Amino acid sequence: MMRYKLIKRETDSLASRIIVPVLSVLMALLFGWIFLWLYGINPAETYLRMWQGAFGNSYAVSETLVKAIPLMLLGLGLSLAFRMKIWNIGAEGQLYMGAFAASGIALFYGHLPALILLPVMAAAAFIVGGFWGLIPGSLRAYWGVNETIITLMLNYVAISFVDSFIFGPWKDPASLGFPLSPRFSPQAYLPTIGDSRVHIGLLVALLLAVLFYFLLNYTRWGYEVKVVGESPASARYAGINVKRNIMLVMLISGGIAGLAGMIEVSGITHRLQQGISPGYGFTAIIVAWLARLHPFAIILVAILFGALLVGGFGLQIFGLPFSIVLMLQGAVLFFLLGGEIFTKYRLQRVRKEGQ
Amino acid sequence: MTLGAIVALLAATVVAGTAILFAAVGELLAERSGIMNLGVEGMMLVGAVMGFIFTVLTGNHWYGLMAAMAGGGMMAAIHAFLTITLRANQVVCGLALTIFGTGVSGFLGKSYQGTPITDPFRAVSIPVLADIPVLGPIFFKQDVLVYISIIIAALLWLLLFRSRWGLSIRAVGQNPAAADAVGISVSRVRYFCTIMGGVLAGMGGAYLSLAYAPSWQENMTSGRGWIAVALVIFALWNPIRAILGSYLFGGVEALTFRMQTAGVDISTFYLAMMPYLLTIFVLVLVTIRRRSEAGAPAALTVPYHREER
């Protein structure tokens, strides 16, 4: 009788590192195709509409980029934590806290010139977002408290906290009862590229990716992060301060998420309001994982997922639910996780008697 | 506060805690076998929507409940296949399950938002016991699912700590290599526990859509699945403690709701944070007091494969 056995690979092959993610996206699309078809919705038409919504014309492309920017930033921040096997799933809340801080500055110091105002908003967002990440980071570092649950719970707390301001003291008297802050002064707007809605947050994200690549591959600290992720015990043995690194990584990861929040309010909404993020913090988890935590791959995958979001919003015009997008996102991750075994192992046929 | 109001609050506490109890007990079983499933939120949502749709279609809440159990179980089977057979990372896979479950439930339930159901689970008085003062209205004038949830938690305790099966499950979660050596099939036990965990999460979801609400809204679990995951740690992997923990959270939810309706002068947004802040507080307290994850199954989240023994 023939059986298959998994044999561990010595090194994971480069081909599989690219083929598996690409295949998992294709498989997820195929799964979505079958699901829609079973449900009596024309899959070809649905996918075509999503494609047109995301890339159909120059406006669509710019919208895709606009949605990709926060995913790039969050994906980069998360990748750092994930490298150390610190499961930060609180990027959503950290983003909201950053948006809150930046909005506070914009609302109260809006008269300052843009050259001062924007950096201060960014710094405030980074600090407050970072603080929001540092809470679970220090709990994990000092007492071993499960950071997955704490970061997730803090998402709900952050969103309620922001709501308390936009429904309360920061509510625009001219908003006709809608939960919106007043519009920022124009100095608090991020400059856009050309006459599109794409703002310089894109450049920030690209620079950050280069910086990450350099830090991770060419500095001692980048090496430490890798070692801690692979084996905290040997990291400690090698004299690496694991606690400090956990806190630092959560601070940076949260700070970048906060920065993404600032970029959203300053570049897109120009005010603090509900639903600044349609779940960017969760989508970014998939982005980081699909990109195998590689900074440049994160940029590309973020564009793909930005397109998926924009395409999904486009579907709503045709009466199709946005939840299709979440389904596809989950499915991509399933196929990726399932396929990963082939990067680490290879199948070998063995004879059962021969064992 | 009068005695009557306190009794009513405690009765509401039990109702609010029941969905979490189902889910927490399910997760506890899976974790005892060494599989952490962070997809509870997604499994509950799928359970809630399946239960609701089948109750609307058949007009019978028992069919709805069965559909919810099947839905939760199928979701968990994906997790089991990926993490046990394909040895995928349990944390990321659980997150995928939650995202996927949110999407699937939103998609399937789209046309059922706001639909009323004619046959929700209603409170049933247990003869004699319901007439006991104080305890009667709190525990014995509830819907059937409340009773079922308590019975399941108690049975699970018996299963885990007083039966050979339970010994096998705990052995697999503690030391899979040793369990394997005495002839227990590690993957079979893990598959069973993970899928049963999903079935229970599905029941928890159905409790929300068929008894607690009773209606379907997108994302109606609003974090209860995650609270259930935290509760397993609080319960130190013991089903009886999970009952207490669930009612603690149920109590906060019931109290918050009452304070809102009574017009207490605290911002509703701060009240809305309470269950989540309580989860954080409790988790930190338990972890610090017990020095990290004492009581956690030693092989939790560690895939097992024979070749690398």
Give the mean pLDDT of B215-237: 91
Distance CA(A141)–CA(A145), nearest Å, equals: 8
What residue in A sits closest to B226 (Cα-Cα)? Answer: A149
Report pLDDT for A354: 45
Q: Rounded CA gap, B151 and B25, in Å?
A: 11
Give B97's contacts in chain A (Cβ within 8 Å): 330
For residue B22, what are the contacts with CB-CB under 8 A and spacing of at least 6? Answer: B149, B152, B200, B201, B203, B204, B207
- Write down the mean pLDDT value for chain B: 90
**Strand, helix or coil at A87?**
coil
CATH number, domain of B130, equals 1.10.3470
AA letter at A308: L
Exposed/middle/buried for residue A267 (C-beta within 10 Å: 0-12, 13-18, 19+): buried
Mutate to test the interface with A, among B233, B280, B282 (most CBs of A within 10 A): B280
Q: Chains A and B: how many Cβ contacts under 8 Å?
A: 143
Do residues A13 and A355 lie in contact, with contact meaning Cβ atoms separated by under 8 Å?
A: no
> Given this model, what pLDDT does residue B173 score?
94
Residues 6+ apart with CB under 8 A from A249: A80, A81, A83, A84, A86, A137, A225
Distance from the Cα of A191 to chain B's closest Cα (Å) equals 34
Q: What angle do CA B245, B247, B249 make, to 5 degrees?
A: 75
The distance of A316 to chain B (nearest Cα, Å) reads 12
- pLDDT less than 50: residues of chain A: 354-355
Give me the amino acid identity at A327: M
Distance from CA of B128 to the nearest CA of A (A): 42
The answer to whether the beta carbons of residues B242 and B232 sit under 8 Å apart is: yes
Question: What pLDDT shows up at residue A316?
Answer: 84
Of the candidate ranges B125-129, B177-181, B222-226, the one whose mean pLDDT is the lowest:
B125-129
Closest-CA residue of chain A to B91: A87
Of A33-47, B67-81, B279-293, where does mean pLDDT reach its minimum?
Answer: B279-293
Give dist(CA B89, CA B98) in Å, integer: 14
Chain B residues 75-104 within an 8 A CB cutoff of chain A: 78, 81-82, 86-89, 91-93, 95-104
Read off the pLDDT of each residue in B19-34 and give the average, rounded to a whole number.
Answer: 97
Contact A89 B95 (CB under 8 A): yes
Give me A35's structure tokens. Answer: 């699901």
Distance from CA of B107 to the nearest CA of A (A): 5
Largest Cα separation within chain A, whole Å, is 81
Q: What phi and psi, each to the nearest 5 degrees, are found at residue A277?
A: -120, 125
| The amino acid at A311 | G
Give tens-digit pLDDT for A213-272.
Answer: 999 999 999 989 888 888 888 888 888 889 999 999 999 999 999 999 999 999 999 999
Give the C-alpha separation, B278 to B255, whole Å: 13
Cβ distance of B110 and A326 shorter than 8 Å: no
Interface check B283 vs A, CB under 8 A: yes
Contact (Cβ atoms closer than 8 angstroms) between residue A106 and residue A188: yes
Residue B6 has pLDDT above 90, yes or no: no
Helix residue ranges per DSSP H, A109-231: 114-143, 147-166, 201-218, 220-230
Which residue is closest to A288 within chain B, CA to CA?
A: B92
pLDDT of B266 over the 80 cut: no
Provide the pLDDT for residue B256: 84
**Which residues of chain B lie closer than 8 angstroms to A4, CB-CB?**
none
Domain residues for the domain of B289 are 3-308
Q: For position A11, what pLDDT does the model report?
A: 67
- Predicted confidence band of residue B76 (pLDDT cuts 50, 70, 90): very high
Per-window interface: B 145-184 vs A, CB < 8 A:
none
Identify the pLDDT of residue A212: 95
pTM of the model: 0.90
> How many structural domains compose chain B?
1
pLDDT score recorded for residue B210: 96
End-to-end CA distance of chain B, in Å? 61
Chain centroid to Cα A176, Å, comes to 33
* Calpha distance B241→B199 (Å, rounded): 20
- Asked if B95 and A153 come within 8 Å (Cβ–Cβ), the reply is no
Cα distances from A304 to residues A16, A284, B209, in angstroms, run 20, 11, 35
Q: Residue B89's closest chain A neighbor by CA?
A: A337
- Asked whether B194 and B90 are in contact (CB, 8 A), the reply is no
CA–CA dist A184, A265 (Å, integer): 9
**A326 by DSSP, 3-state: which?**
helix
Residue numbers in A near B293 (CB within 8 A): 144, 146
- Please tell me the predicted confidence (pLDDT) of residue A317: 83
Please state, in angstroms and as integers, the Cα–Cα distance from residue B195 to each residue in A103, A175, B93, B189, B198, following that order: 46, 49, 15, 10, 5
Please, which residues bridge with residue A273 across strands?
A: A180
- Quote the pLDDT of residue B72: 98
Burial class of residue A41 in the structure, from the number of CB atoms within 10 Å of its CB (0-12 exposed, 13-18 middle, 19+ buried): middle
Q: What is the mean pLDDT of the segment spanning B253-276?
A: 81
